[in-house]
Structure 1
Amino acid sequence: MKAVLKTDCGKVRTHNEDSGGIFEQGDRLLAVIADGMGGHRAGDVASQLTLKYLQEKWEQSDDLKLDVAEAVEWLNEAIVSTNQELYRYANEHEECRGMGTTIVAALCFNEHLIVSHVGDSRCYFSDSKGDLKQITEDHSLVNELVKSGHLSKADAEYHPKKHVIVRALGTDPEINIDTVIMTWTDNCKLLLCSDGLSDKLSDKDLQNVLNENASLEEKAEALIQFANNAGGEDNITLAIVEHTDGEDL
């Protein structure tokens, strides 16, 4: 596997509340994107602590040999534990009361990948032919309205409450996590990103950049520039993971 991580403050905000990380152990890789909630205090603290807690749990798992079911359990237990740590931290630090963050995390093996998420940070999957699809579903108010038939997808794009999320890490003692399990092969790619990217590029735009004849670093930089050129009102963070030849654990 090959991977790249990029983050940018954007053109409007003065500080970056996003955090991201790529952690590798042998033939497995963990990619994480966390977007601190701008409407809450200490969103940057929430996203940074999320990366810290998950990295610690990752480093403690270096001797584990996980099959797919065990990997799903490990990832989701790590996210649940992180949520509890964030909630505890916020309650113990007055300046951080109410802080929260989204999370999208991909645990990648040579044959399988597991994606878990809370909030509206997204994961897209590009197959070996270059066709792109979103594999996470936003935990947002407007998406709930679309699913219930009260709002069209077109109207959702411009809804004034588009960024109101209905699930977040750290705001409640318990959390519901959505998980997707997939297989992948050579030349497939994952794109994980905060909404600073997905709000500014259509699926077609994302697909076109990922299919360019360029390095992962160049593709990531092009996506950042695209979002900034489209306004850059929010922080922009993304990770691209590309499958290369190898055997599963």
Structure 2
Amino acid sequence: MQSAFISDQGKVRRLNEDAGGVYLHPHGHLLAVVADGMGGHKAGDVASLMAVEKIQELWMDSPAILKPRDAENWLQSSIENINRDLHLFAHTNKDCEGMGTTIVAAICTEEFVTIGNVGDSRGYIVSQANKIRQVTEDHSFVNALVQSGEITKRDAEHHPRKNLLLKSLGSSGLVNPSISTITIDEGNIIILCSDGLSNKIDEVKIADTITQALPLKERASIMVDIANQNGGEDNITIAAVEYVVSKESEETR
């Protein structure tokens, strides 16, 4: 596995309220995470950074992840713990009242990937054949309309309430993250991103760009450049993990 992380302020926002990273566990697994803070002057950047720092801390202290159920349980409990911490912090720090953040996190092992999310930061899997699939579920008002059949996915792209979230970290009570596990093949690439990317580049372009014959960090940087060329109104953050094809596999093809 190889990984890359990049976060860009974009062309319009005065602050970068996104955070994230890719973290290597002592047992060799990777945790990739992206968080998109909200609240503007109410400390969206504080919320996203707190979420990322907390999940990194929990990750480095966690036991080895051996089975999908282990990964799913760990993400469930960790995301709920982070939600409680953020809610308490905002409640006791008036300057941060109302702050929140999305989160998307992926546990990447040699055999499987488990992804959990709250909000509209997304996780994709891209195959060597340039096939892309969104693995996460957007917890947004417009996605609920799409799922109910009231509007189409194309309608959702330009809906006036596109940015309205139904879930975010920092809420009272449980957030019930969406969690799923997928099997992995050599050459697959996992992409986590904030909506500053997914709102500005369609899935076909994401797949075409991330599968270019370039270093992974350079491919991620090209996607950031495209998002900025397409307006760059929001912060843009990408975490990517590539399951590199071994020389033995290439030789047998």
1:134-163: CA deviations, max 9, x gaps? 111211001111111222222111111101
Aligned-partner Cα distance in 2 for 1:203–1:64:
33
Aligned-partner Cα distance in 2 for 1:39–1:143:
24
Aligned-partner Cα distance in 2 for 1:34–1:64:
24
Unaligned runs of 5+ in 2: 247-253
Of all paired residues, the percent bearing the same amino acid is: 42
Unaligned runs of 5+ in 1: none
1:16-58: CA deviations, max 9, x gaps? 0000111002420000000001467211110000011111111
SS in structure 2 opposite 1:5? Answer: strand
SS in structure 2 opposite 1:55? Answer: helix
Asked whether 1:44 is paired with 2:45, we answer yes
TM-score, scaled relative to structure 2: 0.93
* 8 Å Cα contact 1:118-1:168 kept in structure 2: yes
Residue 132 of structure 1 aligns with which residue? 132
* 8 Å Cα contact 1:40-1:98 kept in structure 2: no
Residue 13 of structure 1 aligns with which residue? 13
Residue 55 of structure 1 aligns with which residue? 56
Task: From the superposition, tell whether residues 149 and 28 of structure 1 become closer, same or farther in structure 2 (CA, over 3 Å).
Answer: same
* 8 Å Cα contact 1:40-1:100 kept in structure 2: no
Residue 226 of structure 1 aligns with which residue? 226
TM-score, scaled relative to structure 1: 0.95
Asked whether 1:209 is paired with 2:209, we answer yes
Aligned-partner Cα distance in 2 for 1:104–1:216:
20
* 8 Å Cα contact 1:3-1:239 kept in structure 2: yes
Aligned-partner Cα distance in 2 for 1:187–1:227:
25
How many pairs align?
Answer: 245
Residue 168 of structure 2 aligns with which residue? 168
Residue 95 of structure 2 aligns with which residue? 95
Residue 250 of structure 2 aligns with which residue? none
Aligned-partner Cα distance in 2 for 1:234–1:6:
14
* 8 Å Cα contact 1:17-1:38 kept in structure 2: no
User: After TM superposition, which residue ranges in structure 1, 4 or more long, deviate above 6 angstroms?
Assistant: none
Once the two structures are TM-superposed, the CA of residue 176 in structure 1 deviates from its matched residue by 1.2
Once the two structures are TM-superposed, the CA of residue 82 in structure 1 deviates from its matched residue by 0.6
Aligned-partner Cα distance in 1 for 2:58–2:242:
24
Aligned-partner Cα distance in 1 for 2:41–2:153:
27
What is the alpha-carbon root mean square deviation over aligned residues? 1.4
Task: From the superposition, tell whether residues 175 and 140 of structure 1 become closer, same or farther in structure 2 (CA, over 3 Å).
Answer: same
Residue 235 of structure 2 aligns with which residue? 235
1:75-124: CA deviations, max 9, x gaps? 21111111111111111101111111000000010011100000000011
* 8 Å Cα contact 1:185-1:244 kept in structure 2: no
Task: From the superposition, tell whether residues 227 and 178 of structure 1 become closer, same or farther in structure 2 (CA, over 3 Å).
Answer: same
